Amino acid sequence: MRDDRQGCLSGLLKLFLVKKGYDWSQRTFGFGNGCFGVGCGCLLMIIFVFVVLGILFDTNFFRFSF
């Protein structure tokens, strides 16, 4: 039997690192920076939502197969 699922600590570590990366990128490029105070915050939020969903549900959004 092949079990490729990640462990609980591995998933929590990935989520922690994603949160730190998200916080840093929002401070640097996100809301409040750029024209009209929007900056790249919306784009960064969408990207990080896909990353978090990929970690939580163990999916690869870039693998296309039929």
* pLDDT tens digits for range 26-46: 888 777 666 665 667 788 888
Residue 1 lies in a domain: no
Residue 43 lies in a domain: yes
DSSP string, 9-38: HHHHHHHHHHHHHHHHHHHHHSTTSSGGGT
Mean pLDDT (whole number) for 4-21: 85
Of 14 and 36, the one with more pLDDT: 14
Q: Give the pTM.
A: 0.73
Residue 62 lies in a domain: no
pLDDT at 41: 79
Structurally, the chain folds into a number of domains equal to 1
Residue 64 lies in a domain: no
Domain residues for the domain of 19 are 8-57
Residue 38 lies in a domain: yes
